[in-house]
Every structure is written in C-alpha cells, then in structure tokens.
C-alpha cells in the first residue's frame, strides 16, 4: 500500500476508474455473450440469467487489462496535462515514484488474474457446461440445432434433421444400424418430437433414454415397409451428449499439466506398441500387419502429442494474459505522461492500437505455433509480453529525461 498522501490519492484514483471501466466492459461482454449463447443453443432466457454469475469471470482476463490501461492513461495524462507532473519534479519528487502506485496496482491485478485463470474460470466453465447438461432434452435439441445430426461410428442409432423449430424436428430421419454395419431400420418423417426419459424412470444402470415420436412417416426395415401417422421409437442417449466433455478452459493449471503428461505417455505407448508389433511381424516374416498399423498408430500418436502441447501452451498463455495487466501499466504510464497536450481518449487509443494489432495477434500466433510443435511453448507464448516491456523502456528514458 502506498504510504505518502500523493501515492495514496493516485492509487485510489486508479482503483476507482478501473472498477468503473471494468464494470461497464464486463457487463457489455456478458450480455453479448449471453445473447449469442441463447441464440446458438436455444437456451431459455431464465436459464441464461441464472448462468450470468458464471459468465462474468471468463471475461475478466480480457477486460481487466484494458480497464487498467484506460485508468492509467486517464490518470497520468490528466496529471501531465494539468502540469502536476512538472510541479512534482520541481518539488524534488522523482517521476518513477509517481508511477509506483500504478505498478503496484498492476501487480495486484495480475495476481488476481492468475487466481481467476487458474481456479475460478475453470470452475465457471464446468458450472456452465453442467448447467446446460442438467436439462438433457434442451441439450440434445441444441446439439441437433447446431449440427443437424446425431451420428457416431460407435453408436447404432442415427438422427438427421433439416431444421429444429422450438421442440419440433423438421424433416427428420431416424436410422438403426445392425451389428454387421448395415441398416435394418430407417424412418423418414415430415415432423417429429423428442422427449428424454430420466434414468430413474427406467433402469438406472442403463441411463436416460430418448423417445422419438415420428409423425406422418415412412418406414423401411428388414420386416418390410409402411406408412404410419404417429409412432414412438425408443433409443439410448449418446454418451457424448449424456456426459460433459471438458474443454481445455475447464482445467486448472495443475490439471492441464497432469493431462498433458497423460497424453505424452499415451503417445509413447502407441509408438512402443508400433515398434514391438513391427518387430514381431518381421520375425514371423509377415510385415503386412505392421504396415497397416503404421499410419493409424502414428496418426494417433501425433494427435496425443498435439493435445499435450496445447495443454502446455494453455498454462503459459493464462499466466501471460494475467501478467498483461502489469504489462499494460508499464506501457500506459509513460505514454500518458508524454502525450500531455492530447485528450486522454486519444492517448488511450494510442496505447490500445498496438495492443490490438500486435500483442493479441502475436499471442494467438504463438499458441498456434506451439500446437504445431514449431517453437518451444514458454518462449513463444511469453515473447509478446517481453516485446511490450522492451517497447516501454525507451518511453521511460524519455520521461525521466524530460
């Protein structure tokens, strides 16, 4: 906490403006995100309102650094424009001492950002995913609305729809695949409805099931063909819809590292299996099984290594985004002081423009390079942050000199 009166005034001024800006930006982001999710997934407005507390924290790593940048450019450009910086220098106060409250505030916000990215944001992502999956019927209808189909190689039932209107499936096609891989039942309806029966209403061990009601539909099966006006067909809920598939954002940093190690170990096992199978095939004098495994095993191994790199990059990217609050402070303070003749909004955009055009694109590019294995993860992800800090050094030299 700053000890002098001047430092405390600057510090609390930064806090006030940051919180006001953060509230406005986060509110705008959350409302926009909620509207997009509601339209994309077909979620009821009341459920979106209930999920709002979990939608706010994931926006903070993006809105917090920008809010701090706005605060420092506003405070220091105003002080510089009113000649307060010149008066402080004349009074024997070093310019770096004036910037200390902003650096302290940047460190505090970076610490908060690290905690949010590591603990709170993954929890919020899991809560949102679980909230959507709690209503399986809405989740399945939303999935059909997005993809237009339920079709998995290991799942014997298939559903294809042209359109989903509210809870109605338009031009629905329902198929069942026999163990031999051929279809033994196909039905096509102009309209259908879908109901989910909870596991407690059937057999708990079998999980929830779907009741697909087809209206005015044609049926073609091994038993023959026919036309029915109203018929209900049961089917189990696909595993990928009944169970939440956690994304990278849903893992904490420790979980990311653990999952990355598991993926790397799986890749090693796949390569070992390939090598041992190949040696055994060659000893038997029949390289055919080995040659058929090469493409499949290598492709699987490459996917596992890519996932591990993606998780490693995620950890460093979270830390870099959290430290961006301090980075933006280091860049915004000298620019706010040097551009004393200009409006603070112009000063803010002078700082914000390089960040939008250089920092964030470089961060995204570095993540993609890490996923492809072209660069070392921590060097690539941290390079935009280091670049921003290096750009601020000549600005501080100019501030101290003049």
Separation in Å, CA 330 to CA 269, 277, 394: 47, 57, 12
pLDDT of residue 290: 52
Residue scoring higher pLDDT (312 or 288): 312
Statement: residue 40 has pLDDT above 80: no
pLDDT digits (tens, 9 = 90+) for 116-133: 888 888 888 888 777 766
Q: Which residues touch 285 (CB under 8 Å, ≥6 apart)?
A: none
Task: Give kind and range of the element (H or E) at residue 381.
Answer: helix 377-401
Instruction: Enter the pTM of the model.
Output: 0.69
Region 338-357: mean pLDDT is: 73
Region 212-238: mean pLDDT is: 86
- Between CA 28 and CA 145 the distance in angstroms is 26
pLDDT of residue 139: 75
pLDDT of residue 133: 62
pLDDT of residue 202: 41
Statement: residue 273 has pLDDT above 50: yes
pLDDT of residue 307: 82
Separation in Å, CA 143 to CA 132, 149, 161, 240: 11, 8, 11, 11
Statement: residue 249 has pLDDT above 70: yes
pLDDT of residue 201: 42
The secondary structure of 137-195 as a DSSP string is HHHHHHHHHHHSEE--TT-SEEEE-SEEETTEEEEEEEEEE-TTSSEEEEEEEEEEEEE
pLDDT of residue 205: 47
Radius of gyration of the chain (CA): 29
Q: pLDDT-derived band of residue 204, with 50, 70 and 90 as boundaries?
A: very low
Region 285-292: mean pLDDT is: 54
* Average model confidence (pLDDT) across the chain: 79
Across 17-27, b (16+ Cβ under 10 Å) vs e yields bbeebbeebbe
Statement: residue 277 has pLDDT above 70: no
In this structure, of 151-165, 279-293, 294-308, 357-371, the range with the lowest mean pLDDT score is: 279-293
- Between CA 366 and CA 370 the distance in angstroms is 6
Task: Give kind and range of the element (H or E) at residue 225.
Answer: strand 224-236
In this structure, of 68-82, 167-181, 238-252, the range with the lowest mean pLDDT score is: 238-252
Q: To the nearest whole percent, how much of the chain has pLDDT over 90?
A: 8
pLDDT digits (tens, 9 = 90+) for 155-197: 889 999 988 887 789 999 999 988 887 888 999 998 999 888 8
Q: Are 384 and 358 in contact (CB under 8 A)?
A: yes
Q: pLDDT-derived band of residue 269, with 50, 70 and 90 as boundaries?
A: confident
Q: pLDDT-derived band of residue 112, with 50, 70 and 90 as boundaries?
A: very high
């Amino acid at each position: 906490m700053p000890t002098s009166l001047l430092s405390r005034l600057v510090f609390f001024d930064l806090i006030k403006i940051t919180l006001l800006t953060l509230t406005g930006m986060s509110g705008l982001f959350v409302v926009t995100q909620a509207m997009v999710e509601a339209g994309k997934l077909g979620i009821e407005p009341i459920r979106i309102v209930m999920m709002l507390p979990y939608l706010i924290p994931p926006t903070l790593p993006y809105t917090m650094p920008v809010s701090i940048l706005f605060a420092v450019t506003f405070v220091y450009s105003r002080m510089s424009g009113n000649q307060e910086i010149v008066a402080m220098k004349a009074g024997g106060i070093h310019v770096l001492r004036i910037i200390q409250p902003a650096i302290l505030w940047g460190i505090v916000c970076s610490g908060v950002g690290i905690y949010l990215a590591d603990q709170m944001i993954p929890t919020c992502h899991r809560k949102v995913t679980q909230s959507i999956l709690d209503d399986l019927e809405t989740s399945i209808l939303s999935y059909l609305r997005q993809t237009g189909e339920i079709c998995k190689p290991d799942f014997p039932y298939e559903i294809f729809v042209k359109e989903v209107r509210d809870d109605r499936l338009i031009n629905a096609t329902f198929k069942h695949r026999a163990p031999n891989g051929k279809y033994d039942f196909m039905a096509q309806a102009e309209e259908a409805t879908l109901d989910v029966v909870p596991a407690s209403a059937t057999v708990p061990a079998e999980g929830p099931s779907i009741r697909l009601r087809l209206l005015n539909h044609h049926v073609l099966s091994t038993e023959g063909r026919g036309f029915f006006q109203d018929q209900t067909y049961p089917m189990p809920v696909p595993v990928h819809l009944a169970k939440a598939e956690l994304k990278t954002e849903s893992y904490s940093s420790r979980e990311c590292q653990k999952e990355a190690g598991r993926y790397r170990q799986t890749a090693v096992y796949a390569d070992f299996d390939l090598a041992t199978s190949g040696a055994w095939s060659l000893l038997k004098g029949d390289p055919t099984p080995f040659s058929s495994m090469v493409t499949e095993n290598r492709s699987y191994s490459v996917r596992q290594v890519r996932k591990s790199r993606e998780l490693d990059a995620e950890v460093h990217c979270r830390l870099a985004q959290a430290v961006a609050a301090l980075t933006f402070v280091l860049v915004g303070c000298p620019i706010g002081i040097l551009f004393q003749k200009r409006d603070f909004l112009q000063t803010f955009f002078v700082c914000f423009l390089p960040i939008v055009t250089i920092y964030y694109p470089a961060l995204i590019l570095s993540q993609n390079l890490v996923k492809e294995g072209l660069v070392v993860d921590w060097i690539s992800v941290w390079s935009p942050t280091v670049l921003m800090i290096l750009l601020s050094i000549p600005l501080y030299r100019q501030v101290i000199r003049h």
